[in-house]
Structure 1
Amino acid sequence: MAKIAALSSRSIRHRLFIALCLMSIIPALVFLNYIFPSIFVSSVSRINLFLVIPVIVVIVLLGFILIKQIVDPIIRISQDAKSIAGGDLERRIGIEGKDEIGQLGAALNKMTAKIRENMDELKNYGSRTAEINIQIQKRIVATSGLLQISGLISSAAKLDDVLNLCVEKVQGLADSSCGFILFLENERFSIRACGGLDIQIEKNLNFSSGNECIAQLFKKHGLTAIYAKNSSAFFQEFLNTFNLKSLLCMPIFSRGKPIALLGIGNNVSDFIYSPEDSELLEIFGRQAAIAIENDILLRRVEKLEIKDMLTGLYNEQYIRDRLDEEIKRAVSYQRPCGFILAKLNNFNAYQNKYGQIICETALKKIASCLSAALSDVERIARFSDYEFAIVLPEKNKRSCEEIAGKLKEKVQYIFKEEPEPDKRLTISTAVAENPLDGTNARELIAFAQELLGG
C-alpha cells in the first residue's frame, strides 16, 4: 500500500500502465504458467495453487485501488465543476498534487478565482453604471423641468404658476419631502409657493426680513445646507419651524437685493446633500430668479403701456388714471364727470361655443363701433376681458344715460345681420357720475360694477 501511495506523485500515464499490469498482465502470466508449464521453466519448485490465487487477488486489488485513486479525483473535479458552472463561484476544487489531475484542479481553481474577480468587477461596474444612470435620469428630469419653466416664462405666464412649477420640480431632488419659496413682501418673508408642507406649518411660516437665520442665508450669497445634528441655534429654530431634519436653501436676488428664498428639505436622519443636488437646486434657483425679474419688468411695462394690444383702445390702468385726473379737474372747476361701464352679455357662452379667434374678431368690431361713437375728449378703454369703460368729461348722469343708450343700439345694429341668434351680441351698461356716485375713480368704478352685478 505504501508503494501504491508513493505512485501518486507519478503521471497518470505511468499509474494507468502500472494498474493495467497489476490487474491484467501479471495475473495472466501467472495463470499461463500453470496452464502451460512448459512455457515458463523454473528451477524453483512450483508454488501451491492455493497460495498463488490469493496473491493474484491481492495484485488485482492493488491495481483496482490504483485505478480508484485516479478516477475518484476526476469524479470530484467533475462534481465541483458542475457546481461552479451552476453559479457557485465560491466553491474551490480540493484536489492537490503534482500529477495531471492536481494540475487540472489548480488550473480550475485559478480560472474560478479569475471568474470571481471578473464577476466582482462586473458587479462594481454595474453598480457604478446604475449610479450614473440615476444621475443621468436626474439631469434629464431637471432639464425637462427647466424647459417647462422657461416655456411658462416666455409665454408671460403668471408668476405664481411659474413658482409653483419650480417648487414641484425641485421636490424631486435629493429625496426631498417638501419644497418651498419664501417671498419678500412688505418687509416679511412668507410662503409664495410650496409643496409637501403641512397646512398648519404653511400658515405659520412668516419671517421678518431682519430674522437672523434669513439674514445669514442671504449673507452667504450661495447655497446653504442646514442639518439638525450640527447647526447653530438659530438654524435649529429655522429647521424646527419647518419640522425638518435637513434643508438646502438657495437665496434669490433681484438687482442685488434679496427677494426670495428657494428651499428643499426632508426628515431623513444623517442625510447629506450631494454636490449634484446642490448644483441642480442652484440652476432652479437661477430660473426662479429670472421668472421673478421678468415679472417685475412686465409689471413695469404694463404701467408704462396705455393701449390694449387686441383692440387698440386704452387699457384699464390708463382709464383709471385718466378718470382720477378728470374727477380732480371737475372738482376744481365744479363741473360734472360721467363714467360708463359696458359689459358684453353672455360672452362666456359665446366664447365657449365659437372659440378664441371668433371672440377676438367680435371684440375688435365692438371696440371700433364704440370708439367711433365718441368725441375726441371722451376716452374709452378695454376694462377687462369683455368690459369697456368710458370717461365722459363735462357730462352729467342724464347725458351719460343717453350716450349709453346710443351705444347699446349701435352694438345691436352691427350684429343684427348674424344668421344665428346667439351670435347677435348685445351690451349692458351702468352709468355713474362724480360726485353723486363717488368722489374718486375707485368709488365710481365700484358703483358701476355693482350695478352690472359684478
Structure 2
Amino acid sequence: MLVSQKIKIITGLLLTLFFVLSLAYLYNVTLPLNKTHYFLPAIFIFSAYIFAILSGYLIFGKWSIFLVILSVASTVFLADASNNFQYVFFSFAFISASLASQLYLKKSNAFRHSSAQKLSELKRETNQLREEFERNKELKLSLEKKLERYSELKELTETLSSSLNLKDLTHFITDEAFQIIGKSERALLFLVDDKKQTLDLTASKKMDDNLKIKSKVGDIFDRWVLEHQRPLIISDTSKDYRFPSYRSKSIRPAESVIIAPMMLEDRLIGVLRLEALERNIYAVDDLRILCVIADISCVALNNALLYARTEELAIKDGLTGLYVQRYFKDRLREEVKRATRKEYKLSLLMIDIDNFKHYNDKYGHAAGDLVLQHIAGSLHKFADTGDLIARYGGEEFAVILTEEDKEKAKKVAGNIHRHIAKDSVFLRNQKTYVTVSIGVATYPDDASKENDLIRMADANLYKAKNEGKNKVC
C-alpha cells in the first residue's frame, strides 16, 4: 500500500513548522546585529530552502535531488551572510534527517507495495485454487453419476437377456430409462408397425398418474424420429424452429423432450422417449445415455418380438387371425377367476354361420374362407379392450365380453347380428348376404364354471338354430 497524500501533507507541515522554529532560533541567537542588511535576503533564501526541501520530500521524484542541492547552496549563502556557520550544522542535520526519513518512507512504501502485490497474488492463487476445487468437485460428482449410470446399464444388460415376455420387457426398459436418466415426468416406448409404418404405444411410465397420454401413435416428434431414424433433443418445444406447428400450448404436453431410435442394424423397431414439463431439462449427455439404453435393448426387444410372433402363430388361426380354441379356453378360465375375485359379471357369445355348407358347395371352399374372414372382420368392430374373439372351430366363433351382464351382452349380440345380416360379401362377383345365430350365457347367472358357461352358450346357440336360425337366444 502506498503512502497516502494525507500523510505526505501532514509530514510536510510538520517539517515546515520545524524549519520555522529553527529559523527563529537561528535568527535570535546567531545572526549578527551589524549585518541587518542581509536580513531580508536571508529570510527569502531560507524560505526558498524550506520550500525546496518540502517540495522535494512531497514529490519523492528523482528530480528532488536538484532541489536538495539548491537548498544546500542557499544554506551556505545564509551562513556566509550571517557570519555564523552554525546554519550549516543545523541545516545539514535537517537535510540528513529529511533524507533518512525519505529513504525510510520509500523503503516502507516499497515494502507495503511489495506486500500488497504478494497479497494480491496470494488472493488470486487462492481464488484459482477455489475455482479448481469447485471444478474438480463438479467433475467428481459428474464421474460418480456416470459410474452409477454405467453400473445401472450393466444391470440392465444382464436383466434384458433373461426375459422373452414382450409386455414385461417393454415396461422394464421404460422403467429403467426413467430411473437411470431421471429428470423426467414421463417415459414412453413405441413399437413400429412394419406393415403400416406407424408407431404403437407399448409401455409408459409416469411420475404423476394424472398425466394423460394424448396419442397412442406418437406425436410430431416421434414421427420425426420414425422418418429420419436419428436421435432428437428439444430444450423448448414452443420455440423449436423445426416444429412450428407444435407451438400451441393446447397440444403441447411437454416442454423438454429427448427421443432415441431403437435400431436393429438398418431397421427401426421402436422409439424410446423421455419428456419433462419444464424447459432446458435435458443435456446432450442425457440423450447419449438414452441412445445407449435403446441400443442395448434392441436385441432383447427383437428376440421378444420374434418370440411373441411365434407364440402368436401357435395361438391364432392362420385364416382369420382370431385366437384358436385352446387359447380361448385358457383365457376364459382366467377371466372367470378374475370375475370371481373382483365380483363382476362375465358374458360369453357363441356364434355360428347359418347354412355355411351351402356357400362351400355353391361357390367352393375358397369362397367359404372369404365368408369366415368376413365374419371375423365384423366381430372385431364390436370388441372392446379386454374382450377376446376366437375361432372356436369350423364356422363357429366365440366372444368373451368382460364385465358385461346378460342384458348388455344380448344388446351387443343383437348389434352383431344385425350388422352381419346387412353387410354384403362378394363371392365370385356375386353380391351375397350371410346370417348368423348367436347363443348368450352369463357368469355367474347361468353357470359358475367356464366349461358350464360354454355349454350354456352352446345350448342357447342351438336353440336359435332350432327356432329358425338368424337370431339371438
TM category (shorter chain) comes to 0.3 to 0.5
Which of these two proteins has the greater Rg computed from alpha carbons?
A: 2
Q: TM-score, normalised by structure 1?
A: 0.43
Q: TM-score, normalised by structure 2?
A: 0.42
